[in-house]
Amino acid sequence: MTDRKSLPDKLQPLEGLSQNLWFSWNHKALQLFQSIDAELWESSGHNPVALLQDVSAERLQQLSNDQDFVEKLNRIHQEFQNYLQSQPTVFQQQFPDLTDKIVAYFSAEFGVHESLPNYSGGLGILAGDHLKSASDLGLPLVGVGLFYKYAYFNQQLDEHGNQIESYDALDPQRLALKLVTDSTGQPIKISVFLKDHEVKAQIWQADVGRVKLYLLDSNVPENAPADQEITSTLYGGDREMRIRQEILLGIGGIRALRAMGYEPTVIHMNEGHSAFSGLERLRELMEKGLTFEEAYQMVRNSALFTTHTPIPAGNEAFEFDLMRAYFKPFWENLGLGEQQFFDLGRNVNEHKHENFSLTVLALNLSSMANGVSAIHGNVSRAMWKHIFPGIPESEIPIGHITNGIHTETWLHPLMIQMFEEYLGKDWRENIRNAEYWKKIDDVPDSVFWQTMQEMRQEMADYLRAEYQKRLERFANAEHHFPAPDAILDPNILTIGFARRFAPYKRATLIFRDPERLKKILNDPQRPVQIIFAGKAHPHNDAGKELIRTINRFAQEEGYRGKIVFVEGYSMAISRAMVSGSDVWLNNPRRPLEASGTSGQKVPINGGINLSIMDGWWPEAFNGKNGWAIGDDIEFADPERQDQHDSQSLYELLEKEVVPNFYDRDENGVPLRWVKMAKESLKTIIHQFSTHRMVWEYIEKYYVPGMKQATKLSSNQFSLLKEHVRWLKNISAKWPTIHFSVLSNGAENRIFSAGEERDIHVVVHLDGLKPEEVTVELVLERQDALQRSQNMETVALPLEKNLGQGQYQYGKKVRAKTDGAYRFSCRVLPRNENLLHKHDTRLIKWLD
Ligand SMILES: *Cc1c(COP(=O)(O)O)cnc(C)c1O
């Protein structure tokens, strides 16, 4: 707050509470702010900082005399202080030796709370939830992003369903942000070189519990107007604007961390937008005297890249000309040639066109990489296998960690109340504990159901008010939208569908057979309503057409009042919909939904998923905790796919969803429904939380990366230098390594079921020592569709030194009993300093 003096003494704690986004997942804090002035709370967009600036002095005086309010404030403030100070944290307990290491998490968007709308969709919400769980778990992590003055656009819809985009300027003085300054109080500024001149940026700090999020902002007076606009909008502008934003995010982000005194041990790039950060780290290390090879290995060994985009075209890439315009001085400064530099990101895209891909750059500049669900891990390995020639698809070093949600952010307060009453006050400490959530069965069905009813009612009230604002706007236009009191019946089966309007998400799939849908909606005994929300990217005409289609149906007889489109999808609307909807509909075209997270917000609030088996859902679905639309079949023809999936959707609605919902006991409780909802809650809440997700990042990547980076850099990078010498030597000799004799296998490399053989191979190591390599037998099942998914490797021990650089390896190997296996042999480099066995990307196969 700028004028803190205006707060009466007794209300001083509001200052600290409003300035830390911890409030965004503490319902008591949110309710407290709302109770200050409900109207201002709504009109400010749930912004406590603006609220405190705008609320009248009388009201503040009144509150400071309100014993109840002051006590509540002090209690919440105490809770906040305890939260910030409590130690040891979960991370400190598990990894006491690593508490001085820091992870820097880079993302182009962060969705922490609707009052700081620095997000467009799932990627940003995920990043925000990642920070919150990092804070809860006590992981030392800082976030790095950009501060977009006009954020993403506001969405309004006219009477024809046309999306109207508008942009409101955010005022950082009225947000939970503070300018980062140096010890003399001067703003810290960094600069990046863009094409032919320096561009400056200041840094805003947002506190997210214990975690700090830094947002770079080019809107400073030193910059020319065109440069001030670099951080104007999220995903607006042309390719040139995009490259400038990403240089500022990646290169500027690293510089900002340095300027503030941070020495992060591990860099996590959330999607390729921040891949240039690796180039800046290369530059820094070379400036310290490392060679390119050394710097390159140091950067890779301390970086993690998370890919999110299973569509080739969705992966960020720039034309070489544009890259040249922005990076020529950069690579010259590093002493690199153009080709060597372009090779870092060179890719051939789906149109057989070569360009500079940030995904490829990020994969090259990180030893650690992952997709965001099991399916997406498979898709990513298949999509990027050309970067790893010779390595079998199933072993491509792109793992997966399935996305989650920050549970407390997305839980309705009524659910929290239910948990505290029936499960215990300790539910927060047990979010990852599967056993704990079984206690949800102790909640009486009628209580559970009553809570669902109340949340549906609350959603209806909230969204009706939103809808009313929209209708008032076109009071004079001709339209057939129903009146607010004719929509959103709080007592009927309510299906929610809210997401970005990207065509692959198939928002209109349920309208494929309009008559059949009409029947489902209008059964007098068992009516159904569907609520839609979501934005189409300003350049996505196909997405906008889908919005128009739904808005046409919303005005048509037979659908009016049953189909509602709520404009301006935001975290606030999302919270309402995921807690008030009975069913969450998700019908993307497989396998294009990398993970999806909105569906994870639903079961924790008692709702049930009705979803295509894509993204996270196959990992959650157990046959009893929701419904699977279609099956695993993927048709080449999208028409057939839509037909197949929509049939399945209608059938599920007609035969299961609707009957289950309306099958009531004598007290009006749908027992079968509640059973499924409880099953859904207890099987999903722990697994699809960012607490589980962040912990997995810690164990799989952050901790190994911290140890690796520390090891390689200690003693003035002595181990790094040794490692690079080894790598150079092995890379130089690798081309001449070859197999010669394979005995007991050369004639027939097929094992039949259960067969046993004594296999020996001779490898010419050409001066390499036998302990520098691993020789493996690889068995691939012959009859399986995806052979590499059924692959087994067996290490062959060294048997004899045959002299003259030749070594014999071998073992008695027994095949599995379930079919025929073809076998082959391969050599891989071996070194204890490799993060994983394919990190060198060197591999040699027996022909
Ligand atoms: C959760 C959420 C998303 C992500 O949902 P998907 O299932 O990935 O589409 C997007 N936007 C908002 C506002 C959300 O709350």
Residue ranges lining ligand 1, Cβ < 6 Å: 121-122, 125, 499, 569-571, 574, 596-599, 601
Residue 786's pLDDT band, with cuts at 50, 70 and 90, is low
In CATH, what number does 737-845 get? Answer: 2.60.40
Asked if 563 contacts 554 with a C-beta cutoff of 8 angstroms, the reply is yes
Give the percent of the chain with pLDDT over 90: 91
Instruction: Tell which atom from ligand 1 comes closest to the C-alpha of 593.
Output: 8
Mean pLDDT of 650-668: 98
Residue 4: pLDDT band (50, 70, 90) is very low
Model pLDDT for residues 360-383, shown as the tens digit of each residue: 999 999 999 999 999 999 999 999
How many whole angstroms separate alpha carbon 124 and alpha carbon 450? 33
Domain ranges of the chain: 4-85, 98-149+205-403+698-712, 407-688, 737-845
Atom 8 of ligand 1 has which residue's CA nearest to it?
596
- Our CA dihedral for 459, 462, 466, 469, rounded to 10 degrees, sits at 140
CATH 3.40.50.2000 fits 98-149+205-403+698-712, yes or no: yes
Strands (E), 184-310: 189-194, 197-208, 211-217, 266-270, 303-306
Distance 521 CA to ligand 1 centre (A): 25
**Ligand 1 mean position, distance from CA 842 (Å):** 40
Percent of the chain at pLDDT exceeding 70 = 98
Task: Residue 566: name the closest of 485, 478, 465, 456 by CA.
Answer: 465
Q: What is the pLDDT of residue 823?
A: 84
Q: Which residues pair with 104 in a beta bridge?
A: 142, 267
Ligand 1 center to residue 501 CA distance, Å?
A: 11
The confidence score (pLDDT) of residue 753 equals: 79
pLDDT digits (tens, 9 = 90+) for 686-725: 999 999 999 999 999 999 999 999 999 999 999 999 999 9
What is the position in ligand 1's atom list of the atom closest to the CA of 573?
A: 13
pTM for the model: 0.97
Which CA distances in Å does 765 have to 803, 833, 841?
10, 20, 18
Give the strands of the sheet with 354-357, arranged side by side: 317-318, 354-357, 346-348
Band (792; pLDDT cuts 50, 70, 90):
confident
The amino acid occupying position 257 is L
Using most ligand atoms within 8 A of CB, pick from 113, 120, 123, 125 the residue to mutate for ligand 1.
Answer: 125
Question: Is residue 151 within 8 Å of 233, Cβ to Cβ?
Answer: yes
Q: Look at strands 806-814 and 798-803 and give their pairing.
A: antiparallel
Centroid of ligand 1 to alpha carbon of 596 (angstroms) = 7
Does 748 score more than 80 pLDDT?
A: no
The Å distance, Cα 581 to ligand 1 centre, comes to 15
Q: Work out which ligand 1 atom sits closest to the CA atom of 574.
A: 15
Query: How does the average pLDDT of the chain come out, rounded?
Result: 95
CA end-to-end span of the chain: 70
pLDDT of residue 1: 42
pLDDT confidence tier of residue 785, bands split at 50, 70 and 90: low
For atom 1 of ligand 1, the residue with the nearest CA is: 598
pLDDT tens for each residue of 138-150: 999 999 999 999 9
Q: How far apart are CA 78 and CA 72, in angstroms?
A: 10
Residues 578-605, mean pLDDT to the nearest whole number: 97
Distance 499 CA to ligand 1 centre (A): 6
How would residue 787 be classed by pLDDT, with cut points 50, 70 and 90?
low
Q: Is the pLDDT of residue 653 over 70?
A: yes
CA quadruple 295, 301, 304, 310: dihedral, nearest 10 = 90
Residue 784: per-residue pLDDT: 56
The per-residue pLDDT for 789 is 60
Concatenated DSSP letters of 605-651: GT-EEEEES-TTHHHH--SSSEEEES-S---SSHHHHHHHHHHHHHH
pLDDT band, residue 631 (cuts 50/70/90):
confident
Q: Residues 512-516: what's their mean pLDDT? A: 98
CA–CA separation, 276 vs 281, rounded Å? 9
Most ligand 1 atoms within 8 A of CB, residue of 123, 129, 154, 598 to mutate: 598
The CB-based long-range contact list for 416-420 (8 Å cut-off, 24+ gap) reads 416/27, 418/443, 418/447, 418/448, 418/451
Q: CATH assignment of 407-688, given 2.60.40.2310, 3.40.50.2000, 3.40.50.720, 3.40.109.10?
A: 3.40.50.2000
Report the SS3 class of residue 718: helix
Q: Whose CA is nearest to atom 3 of ligand 1?
A: 122
The rounded Å distance from CA 121 to ligand 1 centre is: 5
Pick from 16, 692, 747, 789: which is nearest to 402 by CA? 692
Atom of ligand 1 nearest to the CA of 120: 11
Closest CA to 46 of 122, 126, 117, 110: 117
Spatial distance between the Cα atoms of 381 and 395, rounded to a whole number of angstroms: 8
Local structure of residue 305 (DSSP, 8 states): E
CA of 595 to the centre of ligand 1 (A): 11
- Identical fold for domains 98-149+205-403+698-712 and 407-688, yes or no, is yes
Distance 155 CA to ligand 1 centre (A): 16
Q: How far is the centre of ligand 1, averaged over its atoms, from the C-alpha of 606 (Å)?
A: 18
**Are 117 and 279 within 8 A, CB to CB?**
no
Instruction: Report the nearest-CA residue for atom 9 of ligand 1.
Output: 499
CB atoms within 10 A of CB 623: 8
Q: Which residue has the higher pLDDT, 631 or 644?
A: 644
Ligand 1 atom with the smallest distance to the CA of 534 is 11
- At residue 32, the pLDDT reads 98
| Residue with CA nearest ligand 1 atom 4 | 122
Q: Which of 46, 499, 589, 593 to mutate to test the pocket of ligand 1 (most atoms within 8 A of CB)?
A: 499
Predicted pLDDT at 817:
75
Token digits of residue 371: 């997709």
Q: In the structure, what pLDDT confidence band is assigned to residue 747 with cuts at 50, 70 and 90?
A: low
How many Å lie between the centroid of ligand 1 and the Cα of residue 498?
7
pLDDT band at 755 (very low <50, low <70, confident <90, very high): confident
What is the Cα Rg of the chain in Å? 29
What is the rounded average pLDDT of the residues 720-748?
A: 89
Which residue owns the Cα nearest ligand 1 atom 5?
598
Structure confidence by residue, pLDDT tens digits, 426-462: 999 999 999 999 999 999 999 999 999 999 999 999 9
Per-residue pLDDT reduced to its tens digit, 53-81: 999 999 999 999 999 999 999 999 999 99
Length of the chain counted residue by residue: 847
Q: Let me know: does 603 contact 609? Beta carbons within 8 Å.
A: yes
State pLDDT tens for residues 467-494: 999 999 988 889 999 999 999 999 999 9
d(C-alpha 718, C-alpha 447), whole Å: 64
Residues near 270 by Cβ (< 8 Å), separated by ≥ 6? 105, 106, 107, 123, 126, 127, 130, 306, 308
